[in-house]
Chains A and B, each alone.
Chain A
Amino acid sequence: MPRYRDLTHTARPSNAPRVVEPKNPIRTTDPGTLQMLKMVEDRKLETVFDRVVAQQPQCTFGYTGVCCKICLAGPCRVKKEEGPASRGICGATAYTIVSRNIARSIAAGAASHSEHARHILHTAHALVEGHASDYDIKSPVKLHEIAGKLGVETLNREDKEILKDIVEIGYADFGRYQDRPLAFLDCLITVGRRNKFKHTNIMPRSIDGTVTEIIAQTAMGVDADPVNIIFGGLKASLSDLGGSYIGSTMSDVLFGIPEPIVSEANLGVINPKMVNIAVHGHNPVLSEMVVAAARAMTEDAKKVGAEGVNIVGICCTGNELLMREGVYLATSSASQEMAILTGALDAMVVDIQCIYPAVQTLAECFHTKVITTEFLMKIPGAQHLAFNTATAMDDAKKLIRIAIEAYGKRDPKKIAIPSEKHQLVAGFSREVLTDIFAKINPERPISVLTDAIESGQLKGVAFIIGCNNLKRFQDESHIAILKELVKNDVLVITGGCSAGAYAKFGFMSPLAVDAYAGEGLKSFFKTLEAANPQLSTRLPLVFHVGSCVDYTRGIEVLVAMADELGVDTPKVPFVVSAPEAMHEKAVAIGSYCVTMGVPVHVGSMPPVEGSDLVYGITTQIAHDVFGGNFILEVDPNIAATKLLDALEYRTWKLGIHKKTAEKNNTEVAQGW
């Protein structure tokens, strides 16, 4: 780990409790959710909050990563520092067990994002082949941009021909056998990173191949070397990055590049007078169709006495639709069940990832229909409607009809909708940010940001992302860290359920700038707004870049900043924070961000504490090798100071390197 100015800031977390108030079932700070829980408190409905309490205390072996369940001789646990009990039955020590477990998490994360990307590629492929008539190339601009980056010929060619080539490259990225880098990853990163990944042998050649490889590598009786395993894991994390980039880019091509859009968030967006359908999960392929179908089916809704069809989003499907269509965001991952508790949700249409199986159990107490749509995601008791891109619009209409039908079965006694909702501005794709900056400096747009940092107006950029994790109260860490960073003039971009938190609390609004931003950040926003009179709204306190595959937009900003500063990513004043990380995808994302040379705060402990070696690599040595490292800290206030410290480290070092280069009339030193 780099040694920061604040001497109390070491690689170890503070001794804050790992699970806050373990017996308290009111485990949220989200005002909508609190209101909801209050409204139904007499009804003994089991939610995630009760289950967290029921799971306490959680298994320490698992928590620290020293439980090995890889083979049937196990489970084995590391119980002692020395002797036979310090090893598994096969002799695997703590560092082998911990590194294998974490590498497998990364693989699962990479598989998840890439599955999402694969689905979008298939859709694009079907479109090219003429089997997806309900889809279109909504953004030829994005198509041409990515074609240029990938070296696909565009001159005098039809968009569909270009798309065909791009889809083939995308497919090749999934299954390449030659020792060549992932094309999508290769075109996203800096020259410095490209070399680093090649030299350290972690540049993936294929997404599927890397995921398979790490599973094979970590099988019983294969790799015992923690460093080798971790490098394999990092390679898988880069597959995750490459896969995410395919997903995010191709979604933009098919559904359009997000633009600033005003909407609302929190449970108050559920409208008692309308047919309410929640779309939940991650994939926009179906949900985009649902939105289109809903707009066309107002009349059908009116026939059953509703005013229309109200689509609301949950989790990252919510983010996808919010970004492109301005669809209301009902809630975020940990509070997904709340939407059902309102008694006014007629259907919950889910695709993949972060969907609690409990939604069906809870739906049994209501009229709400839970409908799964993907072949690899089903829930006993829930309806399954196999979604097909060839019949996308028809499928979407079927889903809406199920909801319309359910509308009539609402139990009025059970309807309890919290009033809580907030205005927000979302839709900040990399293109939008670039356009905003370009109004000030058309030649080098990103210099507007880097200059503000170098002049001290801003302290840097923080990319706050990730899930909810109820070891602490929902959203508390997201909010606390945001408040502290913006107060200290850090420009914050966000995505995933972190964005969900900010949207639900009203932090994703221009009003929040006045209330929470420091003077430097305020004046930065003023400068941007003054140069951008075309914007229909003032800028929000945080820039929402999208769902969790869209974190590549943050990486694009990072890369642009590095190129502008003439350095590689490890010197850019840019930090990542996942205050409430939960999913395996978060492990993969955190790992690729570290590999990309960024300090990454994680607010919930990953299972690495069981091996000092693995802990040391993730928090310290990773910095020496890749320029990024994990900052593991569960207390959000301490975490915020650590993030500020990490930014200060970078501006301090970069400043000295630049000053020294000027003095000696040399290039800026490239070390970090």
Chain B
Amino acid sequence: MSVEQIKETATDANVLPKKLLRKAYDGTIIAMTYAEILLNRAIKDFGPEQIVGYPDTAYHLPVIMCLSGEKITKLGELVPILNRMRNQVRSELTMENSKLWGESVLYAAEIIETLHYLRGDNPKVKPWTGFLGDPIVRKHGIKMVDWTIPGVAVILGRAKDSPAAKKIVDNLMSKGFMIFLCDEVIEQLLEENVKIGEDYIAFPLGNFTQVIHAVNYAFRAGLAFGGIAPGEREMHLDYQNRRVLAFVLHLGELDDVKVAAEMGAIFMGFPVVTDQPLSEDMQIPDWYLSEPDYEKIVPLAMEIRGIKLTNIEIPIPVNFGPAFEGETIRKAETYVEFGGGRTTAFELVHMVGPDEIVDGQVTVIGPEIDSVPEGSKLPLGIKIDIYGRKMQADFEGVLERRIHYFANYGEGIWHVAQRDLCWVRISKDARAKGFLIKHLGELLLAKLKQEFPAIVDRVQVTLITDQTAVEEGLVLAREVYRARDDRMRSLTDESVTDFYSCLLCQSFAPNHVCIVTPERVGLCGAVSWLDARASFEITPNGPNQPIPKGPAIDEYKGMWHSTNEYLYKASNNTLEEVNLYTLMDKPMTSCGCFEAIMAIVPEANGLMITTREHSGMTPCGMSFSTLAGTCGGGMQTPGFMGIGRTYLLSKKFIPADGGLARIVWMPKELKEFLREDFVQRSIDEGLGADFIDKIADESVGTTVEEIVPFLEENGHPCFALESLM
């Protein structure tokens, strides 16, 4: 539905909800003048030249940048903008005007919050978030606009009681929603020990005008992933309406300012449902509704926002969903743990024949966790047998890695690492709710079937907690790992006949094309060549398509006829050529979800890499956020490129530019993350085991002036390489 259509449906209402509109108008007056008072006082205190902005963002004041294209950096610049917004507030009570009031209120709230940041008011402490920086937008924003996250709920006010708040949020979390919270509902959830915060995709923003941080989050998605230029107001609104499946739940008594802000939500295409009983003249059909029944409020909101769930219910006693992916379980909270070097453990997905499997069966061999005391450590084998007519041995590893994600979806279940290094914890809370190890099996079984219906026909899961049986299983598992590694090693760009495309991100970056090869993982880090191949099997018309390699145009830089041809079509005729092995000449484009970014450092004749996790400054003078702003959105930007972290370990890591030896700076965290394999690759490349220590990091410095002497002192090879430029 386009914005125009929304306007139509909304204005079609036979009776104007005058009472609601009057309330919204009153709230708008309050918000506009309040912003004006704060702004002019701040100008008096700081002067119009005062620099303003939110932390950790390249998008200035996102609401303003998005809607009007103005990139605010100074306090004084806000005056004409606020005046423009004051001026569009007209007193006649019409639906048309109400949306403009809403827009004005969004501006006012953005300005008020900007001033709060300038003043250092109410610094946020965990779990309150305030403004959400770009790293978080990039981390979760893609899932929001590609609908991995089925919807976004903005909840404000206070529920009828704390258990009711918990119930709503649990329900939304188990459906995988992204949640923004404002006002007392936050305290209610904290009271009920509901897990909220950045780690759970449930953001407690703050109070009152801080709800704007849900809005500026959403608007940044259009800029970052939609590739929509700043100031393209209608296009941004259309993007919000189409891609951001958000709704607002207003709990507790209404007030003028909230109602006015909710007109802002409707302006963006997000309907509002409240638990307050409202008369007819306080409701807008399909857009502003009353539903006092807590059982019905979420289904109603989903219905009017058009959110449909494909998720299945899984019969386990804990909550389940991506909200819990970031949850950590500390030792003190652990009921039982497995693996992690403390006990023997392994996990294995194995393809079997049709006769070797009982579909849907979950077997536990050894003690169940209700029979062991708190604090126990048990061995663990997770053995998943899969039969599928289209299943291939190459997919085993792909599916096996899903164990990590699926297990972490469970509330109170924590999983890290893989294969025989895997480490699992189950929390006391989960145990108290009745969670058993067999439920882990149920969970994995259900998710594998749900996510991979095309290749998975039958699944059986065996969970082994008996030491002898685990050891037996481990022998088999290691054989499989070995065979798989041998196969992986044989998979090189040269050895395969097909590359794969990935257009997954075109839903939000319409011209971006990823080309995934065995030696170059997708820039999001999540799609390897095998993943892409499996995905193609699962959805033959999906985002991953084979590109028969054919003859090369330039093997050194990595250009093929076939890839160019594919690129041209898939990029909507905007890009003609791409080189896979260099970032200096027609490099691959970046969508917005890259794990890391490479950028040249001409003074050092090398490259630096920074990651989404690293929020600090870098030697190229830009933070990750700013860099992301310059090279995202599906453009070719020579000298800059988004990559997956593990691409650094590839033998095809920018070979045309000199490969690994070019790296002069990367964050410490990335060094540690890759260390072992990186050292091995350095040795293989003849750079020596200590090469990693010749690379500067933030402890050396974040400016060229700081790092160049370090590189020289440590004999970094960059200076001896051919000139990059």
| B163-213 interface (Cβ within 8 A of A) | 183-184, 187, 190-191, 206-209
Selected contact of A660 from candidates B26, B127, B183, B208, CB within 8 Å:
B127
Interface membership of A666, Cβ < 8 A: yes
Interface membership of B40, Cβ < 8 A: yes
A653: which B residues are within 8 A, CB to CB?
A: 184, 187
Selected contact of A2 from candidates B22, B184, B256, CB within 8 Å:
B184
Selected contact of A666 from candidates B126, B190, B208, CB within 8 Å:
B126
| A1-23 interface (Cβ within 8 A of B) | 1-3, 5, 7, 10-11
| Contact in complex: B125, A664 (CB < 8 Å) | yes
| Contact in complex: A227, B190 (CB < 8 Å) | no
Interface membership of A198, Cβ < 8 A: yes
* Shortest distance between the CB of A186 and any CB in chain B (Å): 16
| Contact in complex: B119, A195 (CB < 8 Å) | yes
Selected contact of A671 from candidates B122, B161, B255, B256, CB within 8 Å:
B122
| A149-200 interface (Cβ within 8 A of B) | 195, 198-200
A58: which B residues are within 8 A, CB to CB?
A: none
| Contact in complex: B255, A1 (CB < 8 Å) | yes
A624 to B22, CA, bound (A): 20
Selected contact of A621 from candidates B41, B183, B190, B255, CB within 8 Å:
B255
| Contact in complex: B125, A656 (CB < 8 Å) | no
A227 to B208, CA, bound (A): 17
Selected contact of B255 from candidates A616, A661, A668, CB within 8 Å:
A616
Residue among A5, A225, A231, A660 having the largest count of chain B Cβ atoms under 10 Å: A660
| Contact in complex: B187, A620 (CB < 8 Å) | no
Selected contact of B26 from candidates A11, A231, A612, CB within 8 Å:
A612
B17: which A residues are within 8 A, CB to CB?
A: none
| B12-52 interface (Cβ within 8 A of A) | 22-23, 26-27, 29-30, 33-34, 37-38, 40-42, 45
Interface membership of B603, Cβ < 8 A: no
| Contact in complex: B38, A11 (CB < 8 Å) | no
A624 to B256, CA, bound (A): 12
| Contact in complex: B184, A201 (CB < 8 Å) | no
| Contact in complex: B127, A664 (CB < 8 Å) | yes
B123: which A residues are within 8 A, CB to CB?
A: 670
| Contact in complex: B190, A11 (CB < 8 Å) | no
Contact with B along A399-432 (1 / 0, CB 8 A): 0000000000000000000000000000000000
| Contact in complex: B207, A672 (CB < 8 Å) | yes
A142 to B187, CA, bound (A): 42
| Contact in complex: A201, B22 (CB < 8 Å) | no
A657 to B26, CA, bound (A): 32
A666: which B residues are within 8 A, CB to CB?
A: 125-126
Selected contact of A11 from candidates B209, B253, B257, CB within 8 Å:
B253
Interface membership of A576, Cβ < 8 A: no
| Contact in complex: B187, A226 (CB < 8 Å) | no
A656: which B residues are within 8 A, CB to CB?
A: 187, 190-191
| Contact in complex: B187, A201 (CB < 8 Å) | no
| Contact in complex: A200, B38 (CB < 8 Å) | yes
Number of interface residues of A (CB under 8 A): 41
| Contact in complex: B38, A661 (CB < 8 Å) | no
A387 to B112, CA, bound (A): 52
Nearest residue (CB) in A for B37 is A201
| Contact in complex: A225, B253 (CB < 8 Å) | no
A625 to B109, CA, bound (A): 13
Selected contact of A670 from candidates B37, B122, B161, B191, CB within 8 Å:
B122
| Contact in complex: A198, B256 (CB < 8 Å) | no
Selected contact of B33 from candidates A227, A612, A667, CB within 8 Å:
A227
| B203-249 interface (Cβ within 8 A of A) | 206-209
B45: which A residues are within 8 A, CB to CB?
A: 198
Nearest residue (CB) in A for B40 is A201
Number of interface residues of B (CB under 8 A): 43
| Contact in complex: B208, A1 (CB < 8 Å) | no
* Shortest distance between the CB of A36 and any CB in chain B (Å): 45
A659 to B253, CA, bound (A): 27
Interface membership of B638, Cβ < 8 A: no
| B116-164 interface (Cβ within 8 A of A) | 119, 121-128, 157-158, 160-161
A168 to B161, CA, bound (A): 54
Contact flag A10-B122 (CB < 8 Å), given A200-B37, A231-B37, A617-B30? no
Selected contact of B41 from candidates A11, A201, A659, A669, CB within 8 Å:
A201
| Contact in complex: B125, A227 (CB < 8 Å) | no
Interface membership of B658, Cβ < 8 A: no
Interface membership of A95, Cβ < 8 A: yes
A10: which B residues are within 8 A, CB to CB?
A: 253
| Contact in complex: A667, B30 (CB < 8 Å) | no
If over half of A's interface residues share one DSSP class (helix, strand or loop), that class is named, otherwise mixed; here it is helix
A231 to B158, CA, bound (A): 27
B525: which A residues are within 8 A, CB to CB?
A: none
A200 to B41, CA, bound (A): 7
A668: which B residues are within 8 A, CB to CB?
A: 125
Selected contact of A226 from candidates B29, B41, B183, CB within 8 Å:
B29
| Contact in complex: B253, A625 (CB < 8 Å) | no
* Shortest distance between the CB of A668 and any CB in chain B (Å): 8
A659: which B residues are within 8 A, CB to CB?
A: 190
| Contact in complex: B208, A3 (CB < 8 Å) | no
| Contact in complex: A652, B119 (CB < 8 Å) | no
A412 to B719, CA, bound (A): 116
| Contact in complex: A3, B33 (CB < 8 Å) | no
Interface membership of B629, Cβ < 8 A: no
Interface membership of A390, Cβ < 8 A: no
B183: which A residues are within 8 A, CB to CB?
A: 3
Nearest residue (CB) in B for A668 is B125
A225 to B45, CA, bound (A): 23
* Shortest distance between the CB of B324 and any CB in chain A (Å): 18
| Contact in complex: B37, A621 (CB < 8 Å) | no
B191: which A residues are within 8 A, CB to CB?
A: 652, 656
Interface membership of A613, Cβ < 8 A: yes
Interface membership of B546, Cβ < 8 A: no
| Contact in complex: B30, A3 (CB < 8 Å) | no
A199: which B residues are within 8 A, CB to CB?
A: 38, 41-42, 115, 119, 121
Interface membership of B285, Cβ < 8 A: no
B127: which A residues are within 8 A, CB to CB?
A: 660, 664
Nearest residue (CB) in A for B183 is A3
Residue among A199, A668, A671 having the largest count of chain B Cβ atoms under 10 Å: A671
A653 to B190, CA, bound (A): 10
| Contact in complex: B33, A664 (CB < 8 Å) | no
* Shortest distance between the CB of B9 and any CB in chain A (Å): 26
A172 to B289, CA, bound (A): 56
B184: which A residues are within 8 A, CB to CB?
A: 2-3, 653
Contact flag A228-B257 (CB < 8 Å), given A613-B29, A616-B26, A656-B190? no
Contact with A along B534-574 (1 / 0, CB 8 A): 00000000000000000000000000000000000000000
* Shortest distance between the CB of B591 and any CB in chain A (Å): 34
| Contact in complex: B41, A625 (CB < 8 Å) | no
A200 to B38, CA, bound (A): 6
Interface membership of B252, Cβ < 8 A: yes
| Contact in complex: A671, B206 (CB < 8 Å) | yes
| Contact in complex: A227, B34 (CB < 8 Å) | yes
* Shortest distance between the CB of B217 and any CB in chain A (Å): 19
Contact flag A227-B253 (CB < 8 Å), given A198-B41, A672-B207? no
Selected contact of B256 from candidates A225, A620, A657, CB within 8 Å:
A620
B42: which A residues are within 8 A, CB to CB?
A: 199
A578 to B119, CA, bound (A): 34
Nearest residue (CB) in B for A231 is B37
| Additional 20 contacts, C-beta under 8 A, given A195-B119, A664-B126, A671-B207 | A1-B253, A3-B158, A3-B184, A3-B253, A7-B160, A198-B41, A200-B38, A227-B29, A227-B30, A227-B37, A612-B256, A616-B30, A621-B257, A624-B209, A652-B187, A653-B187, A659-B190, A660-B190, A664-B127, A671-B206
19 A-B pairs with CB atoms under 8 Å apart are A1-B253, A3-B157, A3-B251, A199-B119, A201-B41, A225-B29, A227-B33, A227-B37, A228-B33, A228-B37, A612-B22, A613-B30, A616-B26, A620-B253, A624-B207, A624-B208, A653-B187, A656-B191, A664-B125
Closest 7 CB pairs of A and B: A227-B33, A3-B158, A3-B252, A613-B26, A666-B125, A624-B208, A620-B255
